[in-house]
Amino acid sequence: MTAKENVTEVALSSESHIECPYTTYKTLHGSGQVGFDPEIGLAVVGYDDLVSMSKNTAGFSSSISIDDQGPRHMGVGEDPVQDDVEEIFQDAHPMVNALFTADPPVHTRHRKLLSKALNPRRVRALEPHIRAIADDLIDKFVANGKVDLLPEFSVPLPVTVIADVLGVDRADLWRFKDWGDLMISGNIDLLNHEQRRRVASAVVELHQYFVPRIEARRGNPTDDLLSEMVNAREEGEAPLRTEELLPIIDQVLLAGHETTTNLVGNGVLVLLNNPVLANRLRDNLSAIDRFVEEVLRWDPPIQCTYRRATEDCQVSGAEVKKGDLVLPVWGAAGYDPSVFASPTEFDIDRPNVSKHMGFGHGPHFCAGAELARLEARIAFEVLLTRLPNLTLDEANSDLSRLPSFASHGYERICLMFDVA
């Protein structure tokens, strides 16, 4: 990618940025410029620029693919897909851009149908079910006085919820987790050849798993989200085709666990480092809603997504050429000092605590945001009330960050607590 003027050069895939992207954001906010990574593209960080860009779906496309092959999760690099990877894709079902990777009017149709299935009333009705899952998970380790948080709680909680909502077998939970991890890296990160092979295999496996389940529900719908998506239609329109449903399902799976898993992990670290706040929340559980919002601003699980410029334009004085990859860095919005006072401070009492962009902004605002918020609130409630004197097991934890500049969480969080 050619050099740009009026930009600050950044290295988004560097270890230092992945460990603490907020240093990069502070530098960019201070310069008033966008970032430029020669391997990836432009990184837009200003709050107002992100608002404008998110609304301009005609000028900035959500389709990362520059061909008609749909969302194949091959990363953001410019290298062509190798022949042996293409051979793996021969066993995949045909795909088209859908929902997250689609633009209006296609995106509008998909979003409308999914929003009907994940409407606020339905999400609120899930609270007792989610709480039962959370309590059941804690029951399995509460007598041990210790827990490996991610595999024992913050991963299975949202994956079990989304499996139940979709109407698929809980026994396949870890397959969903593996597919989701691979596909989110393929959505936004730089991938080497072997990583592309693994992602392609995951795409094929997901298709082989869901195609027969989609077809079964066309003729015999059941009471689950998958049936609703398969059979949903607007007046005068046909139901969604399988090639549309598959990428939507993979996005529901991905968003249905990745965001909540890392939101819980990131929030737990905040509580461990701030015992006064932890005690305040334990004594007043209603304040957890504001805590969740501040975690989404201060250390959001999704740092950025992507857009591709459809025409020559400017962003913050930087020239953008048609076809350039442009990253809306939602995680940087929460550190814009023109919007958030003292942005490096964690403060659940800030008046605009929910003004963050932890779920994106504009037409592509996360369709599952309310479900993620509900899962996170319940997770923190049960962790704070059922695990007394919660502390970090430093010897067994690995607090290095996940190897992604887009998805932001910890490798391993081990906790200790008192046994009642």
Interacting residues of 92 by C-beta distance below 8 A, sequence separation 6+: 200, 203, 204, 207
Q: Is the pLDDT of residue 87 over 90?
A: no
- What integer is the mean pLDDT of 159-184? 85
In whole angstroms, what is the distance from residue 238 CA to residue 216 CA?
18
pLDDT score at 73: 56
Count how many residues are written for the chain: 420
Helix (H, G, I), strand (E, B) or coil at 71: coil
- If one compares 188 and 195, the residue with the highest pLDDT of the two is 195
Q: 251 falls in which pLDDT band (50, 70, 90)?
A: confident
Which of 12-16, 136-140, 197-201 has the lowest average pLDDT?
197-201
Output the pLDDT for position 316: 86
Mean pLDDT score, 85-102? 80
pLDDT at 198: 83
Mean of per-residue pLDDT scores for the chain: 89
The model's pLDDT over 278-314, given as tens digits with 9 standing for 90+, comes to 999 999 999 999 999 999 999 999 999 989 999 999 9
Residue written as token pair 């004594």 = 283
Q: How many Å apart are CA 29 and CA 43, to the nearest integer?
A: 12
Q: What pTM did the predictor assign? A: 0.92
Of residues 335 and 162, more confidence is placed in 335
* pLDDT score of 145: 97
User: How far is the C-alpha of 152 from the C-alpha of 414, rounded, in Å?
Assistant: 10
Per-residue pLDDT at 100: 84
Is residue 54 very low, low, confident or very high in pLDDT (cuts 50, 70, 90)?
very high
Q: What percent of the chain has pLDDT over 70?
A: 92
Is a pLDDT exceeding 90 seen at residue 115? Answer: no
In whole angstroms, what is the distance from residue 299 CA to residue 250 CA? 25
Residue 186: band (very low, low, confident or very high) from pLDDT cuts 50, 70, 90:
low
Question: Above 60 in pLDDT, residue 105?
Answer: yes
Count of CB atoms situated within 10 Å of the CB of 106 = 16
Average confidence (pLDDT) over 32-51: 94
Chain centroid, CA 23 distance in Å: 21
State both tokens at 338. 């023109």
Residue 104: CB atoms within 10 Å: 12
pLDDT at 12 over 80: yes
Domains of the chain are 7-416 (1.10.630.10)
Residue 261's pLDDT band (cuts 50, 70, 90): very high
Share of the chain above pLDDT 90, in %: 60
